[in-house]
Amino acid sequence: MVAKMKKLTFLIYHKDYEQFLRDLRELGVVHVVENKLNQAQSERLEKLYMQWKQLTEAKKILEKYRDKKNPLPPNPVDVEKGYRLPQEIEKIQADAATLMQQLQISKKERDALIPWGNFDPENISRLERAGYFIHFFVVSNRDYNPEWEDLYNAIVIETKNSKTYFITITKEQDIPQKLNLEAVKMPEVSLEQLNTMIDQLNAKVQENEEKLKRLTADLPSLEAAIKEIDSEIRFTRVHVSADHVADNKIMLLQGWVPEANEQDIRNYLEFQEVYYIIEDPQPEDDVPIQFANNKFVKLFEPITEMYMLPKYNELDLTPFFAPFYMIFFGLSLGDIGYGLFLFLAATIVKVVKKKSLGMTLKNVLSLVQVLGASTVVCGLLTGGFFGFNIYEVNIPFFQNMKNHVYFDNNQMFELSLILGVVQIMFGMFLKIINRTKQFGFKHALATVGWFIFLLSFIVAYLFPVALPMLGTVHQIILLGSAILFLFFNSPGKNLFLNFGLGLYDIYNMATGLLGDVLSYVRLFALGLSGGILASVFNSLATGMSPKDSIIGPLVTIVIFVIGHAINIFMDTLGAVVHPMRLTFVEFYKNAEFTGGGKKYNPFRK
């Protein structure tokens, strides 16, 4: 259910405004209505967002360099150091970029020098001063002319990859023009010097990486800085959300507080020089949503939030779909062994990680336990246990259970349809309550008519003695319900328009209702396909294993484990998604869920 909320309006003197907000944040129960336009125009907020982005990017970089297996011991938390880390990382990365550029150039020069071998460029310079000029050339093998060896003292240094590398030693400087070739420009360092330089650059690159790795010890400081900037962003968003009135002397701020916390805010405001109003929400108000469900229903709230929160003035459907979802999951997975695996796995994690688990993860594991237990119970209907059928085992206990709870495929098919009818009818009943709550009972009369109309056929089918199908009493009920959905579907409009809309509603109901019910066949199909695939893996495990007394059992175990691991993953995924689809499409539609609520998010650190 949705918790009751109270609307707050504050008028604060501008000099007291900032301190008031800090006190309100310490109180931590008020959901402040934020002004998006004011936020978009705030330069301070823009700077904070930029700073937050720099900090989060720095965190991503350090997490890449963090050794997951053997992380460095964390340094003491220093928020100021956390704020400085992005600049340190930026400098290291800038140095690294420069080093990588130098390394790339050096490697390119080394690759160019390798065919010529290791020589000292100073010797080339000495020869030039003595009047001898050495030119370096590269041509394809077919373009090399051996006559150059006599004409220009050409010397072939190497022939590689269909290319000839040669030099000329002459007293002439215009050899490239005479040969009509472009001379290769040599680096001003030797191959040995280049190799030394590359090794030094690689060492510096490695040193930079080590610097980043050492900075991972300051991740707690960086996270503390991010947390502080998050808090400052939230504070600034609230700070700029107030409207300025009375020549900017008074700040007008609005918010919401759960009815359960109303006295807390009153006790605080009694000692503040603030004018305030606490009132009930109006129908046009956009009220934030806080759930107030019991422990069992609370486990299913994340599923509700995945789709959409209800509006404040409509029903929270979480308590109503939770039992159905639990049953649908169990039928879709449908294997006792798989259910036990999920239940035990979640239980072990909760026990082993008891101290380190957050509340959210604990609730998720508790939900897995509930769904696992539901799978075990629903699995008893068919008897599947890791692809084997327990009811084929000649044990009196199992045989006795088979006589009481076993369902064959036809019965499972029928059960799926029956559950669909029950949930859809229940959804229509909630639609009546929802419409009455939001608009008044007269707006629910058409739905009441449809509910009675459909329910009468169900009762007549199940209890023909009490209500004969299409007998006099049944016909009177059908006539009364038809009047309701034909002439009361749009209160306030004229009779003929209501009748036309009623006929259109009949068409929608006739086509949509059948499709909605048939959608529930997926519960049967998922359970059946999962069971067949499990038995296939069992057959593969036993049929593909060698006859060797040692290797055979090992192969069987490997195929069995891998096969069922794949099947558990796929079946569990289907058992999560398809009941969710039935909930959000068929059930929500027939309950006329509109949604669009925003989550209650109190202003706090």
d(CA 432, CA 182): 90
User: What letter does residue 353 receive in the DSSP assignment?
Assistant: T
Q: Write out the two tokens for 244.
A: 């300025």
Which CATH architecture fits 1-33+241-288? Answer: 2-Layer Sandwich (3.30)
**Backbone φ, ψ for residue 465 (5° rounding):** -70, -45
132 to 66, 151, 177, 432: CA distances (angstroms): 58, 15, 17, 105
At residue 6, what is the residue type?
K
**Residue 14: its pLDDT value, please?**
82
Mean pLDDT, contiguous 10-residue spans, the chain (605 residues): 89 86 88 84 87 91 86 88 90 90 89 85 86 90 88 88 90 88 85 89 90 88 90 87 82 89 86 85 88 90 89 90 94 91 92 82 90 92 88 83 86 92 92 86 84 88 86 87 80 72 76 86 90 86 71 81 90 92 90 88 87
Other C-beta atoms closer than 10 Å to the C-beta of 27 total 18
User: What residue segments make up the domains of the chain, in order of their start?
Assistant: 1-33+241-288, 38-108+193-235, 119-189, 295-590
Provide the residue count of the chain. Answer: 605
Q: Write out the two tokens for 148.
A: 């150059």
Strand 250-258 relative to strand 243-245: parallel, antiparallel, unpaired? antiparallel
**Residue 548: its pLDDT value, please?**
66
User: What letter does residue 587 receive in the DSSP assignment?
Assistant: I
Largest CA distance in the chain: 128
The distance from CA 27 to its chain's CA centroid, rounded to whole angstroms, is 31
Q: What is the 3-state secondary structure (H, E, C) of 505-556?
A: HHHHHHHHHHHHHHHCHHHHHHHHHHHHHHHHHHHHHHHCCCCCCCHHHHHH
Residues 6+ apart with CB under 8 A from 34: 237, 238, 241
Q: Is 139 exposed, middle or buried (0-12, 13-18, 19+ CB in 10 A)?
A: middle
**Residue 388: its pLDDT value, please?**
87
- The residue written with tokens 């704020």 in the block is 83
SS3 299: coil
Angle, to 10 degrees, between the axis of helix 318-333 and the axis of helix 409-439?
170
**Residue 282: its pLDDT value, please?**
87
d(CA 69, CA 590): 51
The distance from CA 357 to its chain's CA centroid, rounded to whole angstroms, is 19
The enclosing H or E element of 501 equals helix 495-519
**Residue 69: its pLDDT value, please?**
82
Q: Write out the two tokens for 535.
A: 């038995």
Q: Hey, what's the torsion of the CAs at 425, 427, 428, 434, to 10 degrees?
A: 160
d(CA 540, CA 533): 11
d(CA 323, CA 374): 10
**Residue 545: its pLDDT value, please?**
66
